[in-house]
Structure formats: C-alpha cells, structure tokens
Amino acid sequence: MTVGCQPKGLWIAVLLVMMSLLTSGCSKPQPEFSETVFTFGTLVEITIVGVDEATADLAYTAALDDLNYMHNTWHAWQENALARINNLLRTGGSFSLAPSILPLISKAKVLSEQSNGLFNPAIGELVNLWGFHSDERDDSPEPLHEDIQVLLDAAPSMQDVVIEGLNMHGTNDRIRLDFGGFAKGVAVDAVIEHLREFGIQNAIVNAGGDLRAIGQKDGRPWRIGIRNPDAEGVIASLEISGDESVFTSGDYERYFEIDGKRYHHIIDPRTGYPAMGTRSVTVLHNSGAVADAAATAMFVAGPDHWKTIANNMGISNVMLIGSDGRVQITTDMAKRLQFENGYAPAVTVIDTSKHQ
Ligand code: AMP
Ligand code: MG
C-alpha cells in the first residue's frame, strides 16, 4: 500500500478510493506466500498471491510433490525411471512406457526436430563424457577426441527414439536421454498448471532465475531481472503480466576450467565440444518447456545462426550475448527489456522475420 492511499479526511478518502479504482498503483496488497525448496540442482521459489493461507499450503504440498517426483524421475545420473528407459532403448527391443512419461518424450522429439537437432536430449553420453553427469566434476582432463568421435559417428538423436502407441524402442545403441536442457521448463509448467487447479491466478515459480509467472502482483506486472553473465547482479529487467516464462542458458551455470580455458555444459551435438561463441541466451515464451529448450538450442546455434532456430521454434523474444560481449535482441524483446543503469551495451536489434 502506498502512502498516498492512506487518507486523513473523509473527502480525501473518497477521492483516493476513486483514484485507486483508476490506477493499479494504489491497489490493495493481496496476501502473499512464498516457499523455497532445493531441487533440480537449484533453489526453486514458489510465490503465490491472492488466496488464503490454507489454499496456499495445499498448493505448496502439491507443487513440492510434483517437483520431487519429476526430479527423481528425470535426474540424468541416478538409478531411476530414466536410467531404466535408457538401458532399454539401447537394447533396441520394444518396451511399454508409463502414460505419464510419454508426453515428455514426445515433446522432446518435436522440440529437437524444430531446433534442427541442436536441442538434442539424446546426447547424454557426450554430456557424461565431459563429466557433467555428476554433482561435483573431478579434476579429470578434457575427454579424448577419439572418444568424442565415436559418439559423433553414432550420432544419436531423438529420431532414434521410436514411439508406437504406449510402446517405444530405440534404433541407436548410443542413445542416452538427458532432459537437463528442458526439464526445468517442463517442471515449472507442471507446477503452474497444478497451482491453477487450486484456483490460483497470480503466482511465480522461479527455478534459479528461470521462471514462469502468471497473473500479476497487487495489480502490477511481475518485474523480472536477467542476470549479468559477467558479474553479480542483473543487466536488464522486464515486466510480465498474464502468463509468460523467461529462461536463460549461460556458460556460467556449470563449467570447469583447465589452463584458464572454460569448458561449460552445453554441448554442440555437431562437434561434440562445448558450444562456442555464446555467453548466454534469454528466451521469453508462454511455455517454460519451449523457452528452456529454445534457449539451449540457440546457445548452440550461436551469434550467427540463432535467428533461424528462433523462427523454426516460433520464438520472437530473444536476447543473445556473444562471447565477445556483443548483444543481439529481437525487435519484440527490444520493446520489453530495460537495461539497468550503468549497463549500456552495444545492442543490435534483429528482425527475425527476415531469417525464415
Ligand atoms: P540449459 O542450462 O537449459 O541450457 O541445459 C543444459 C543441460 O542440458 C546440460 O547440463 C546437459 O544436461 C543438457 N545438454 C547439453 N547440451 C545439450 C544439447 N545440445 N541439447 C540438449 N540438452 C543438452
Ligand atoms: Mg534449456
């Protein structure tokens, strides 16, 4: 509540009530509840606005169950449902799937195809070879090129995952599914859907800076900060009201260094090495899953080719920061982003419709 909404006399009160109906800035603060849990390798904060505490508590319990279930099922390096699927896929034999798992795999296939295979959740073996299938990477050196080449020759892709009704089989014995490139997006979408079932219309689910927000906060849009890849703090902010997700892929999220060279966790399926040329990609889209997969794919595509992928995947809000610090943003994103004081990068605004 702003000070201007607290009247001293009756006529002032009437005037101010009328004004508050006209301006969202003076709307009454609604109850707000927030809960944080560590999952998906990050802190996930769920904020719910505008319902009573009992409803918020029920919704949290459901959301935490969702997150734990998804994290345990899809974790890429634990003995879980995904590990069993990976073992069966490599045998080539047909096996049946739990109906709850099928939509995720189907979605991954579609997004992978739209990204021209740059978002490729079938390259788990490569991710593992680079040492990113462990909570703490040890000091082992860069993998041998011969080992990378074996996997490049096998070229596992989502096309090697064949779905027939409720059955599935693999056609490549080097497939290893790793949904790390879009699992957070899928999870955030599922939680938002579940919150809505509780009648919640205003909420934000923030998984370490990757988030989806619905509705508003006290009649005002949610204000979102985008992290500076080079330093602490944010480089830009934007407003969300309605239903939108913001996902960023960055080379600072998981990496190790050997002799001053940074090796990060986003692998170019064409070379088998960490993708070159990009520091970070931020994507805005309704669906968290699509935004997450697209950010990973455009990170791999790099500063010269991301526009084609944006078009293929139906994304119009993108910011890409290149390894040289050059910032490219789409015309739609330019209308939304506000760069922070003190951060005034040279920005190239790109009309992606010219890159069909
Ligand atoms: P993100 O931070 O969303 O870009 O996802 C990075 C994670 O996705 C990595 O830690 C890997 O588990 C996985 N990954 C790496 N490279 C790719 C790729 N080209 N396509 C799909 N997933 C990938
Ligand atoms: Mg991603």
DSSP labels, 120-140: -TTBHHHHHHTT-SSSS--S-
Average pLDDT over the chain reads 89
Q: In whole angstroms, what is the distance from residue 113 CA to residue 24 CA? A: 43
In Å, how far from its chain's centre is CA 12?
47
Using an 8 Å Cβ cutoff, are 320 and 333 in contact?
Answer: no
DSSP labels, 169-190: EES-TT-B--GGGTHHHHHHHH
Q: In whole angstroms, what is the distance from residue 270 CA to residue 89 CA? A: 22
Amino acid letter, 120? N
Report the percentage of the chain scoring pLDDT > 90: 72
pLDDT band at 333 (very low <50, low <70, confident <90, very high): very high
pLDDT band at 100 (very low <50, low <70, confident <90, very high): confident
Q: Does ligand 1 have an atom closer than 6 angstroms to the CB of 296?
A: yes
Q: Does ligand 1 have an atom closer than 6 angstroms to the CB of 156?
A: no
- What token pair was written down for 260? 């001053």
- Each residue of 306-322: b (16+ CB within 10 Å) or e? bbbbbbbbebebbbbbb
Q: In whole angstroms, what is the distance from residue 99 CA to residue 339 CA? A: 44
* Maximal CA-CA distance, the chain: 82
CA angle 77, 256, 75 (to 5 degrees): 15
Q: Does ligand 1 have an atom closer than 6 angstroms to the CB of 254?
A: yes
Give residue 295 CA to ligand 1 midpoint distance, Å. Answer: 10
User: What confidence score (pLDDT) does residue 27 get?
Assistant: 62
Amino acid letter, 247? F
Asked if pLDDT for residue 9 goes beyond 60, the answer is no
Which of the two residues, 18 and 78, has the higher pLDDT score? Answer: 78
Q: Average pLDDT of 25-45? A: 85
Give residue 296 CA to ligand 1 midpoint distance, Å. Answer: 6
Which run of H or E residues covers position 283? Answer: strand 278-285
Q: In whole angstroms, what is the distance from residue 222 CA to residue 217 CA? A: 6
Please name the residue whose Cα sits nearest to atom 3 of ligand 1. Answer: 181
pLDDT per position as a tens digit, 77-97: 888 899 999 999 999 999 998
CA angle 103, 109, 111 (to 5 degrees): 100
Give residue 249 CA to ligand 1 midpoint distance, Å. Answer: 9
Closest C-alpha among 112, 125, 185, 113 to residue 154? 125
pLDDT per position as a tens digit, 271-311: 999 999 999 999 999 999 999 999 999 999 999 999 999 99
- Which of the residue ranges 26-35, 155-164, 221-230 would you say has the lowest mean pLDDT? 26-35
Q: Does ligand 1 have an atom closer than 6 angstroms to the CB of 283?
A: no
Q: Does ligand 1 have an atom closer than 6 angstroms to the CB of 189?
A: no
Pocket test for ligand 1, best of 110, 129, 265 (most atoms within 8 A of CB): 265
Ligand nearest to the CA of 180: 1
Task: Tell me whether strands 327-330 and 347-350 are parallel, antiparallel or unpaired.
Answer: parallel
pLDDT band at 350 (very low <50, low <70, confident <90, very high): confident
Q: In whole angstroms, what is the distance from residue 209 CA to residue 324 CA? A: 23
Pocket test for ligand 1, best of 104, 127, 247, 254 (most atoms within 8 A of CB): 127
Give residue 180 CA to ligand 1 midpoint distance, Å. Answer: 5
CA angle 25, 26, 32 (to 5 degrees): 90
| Residues within 5 Å of ion ligand 2, judged at the Cβ atom | 181, 249, 292, 295-296
Q: Does ligand 1 have an atom closer than 6 angstroms to the CB of 305?
A: no
Please name the residue whose Cα sits nearest to atom 22 of ligand 1. Answer: 181
pLDDT per position as a tens digit, 157-167: 999 999 999 99
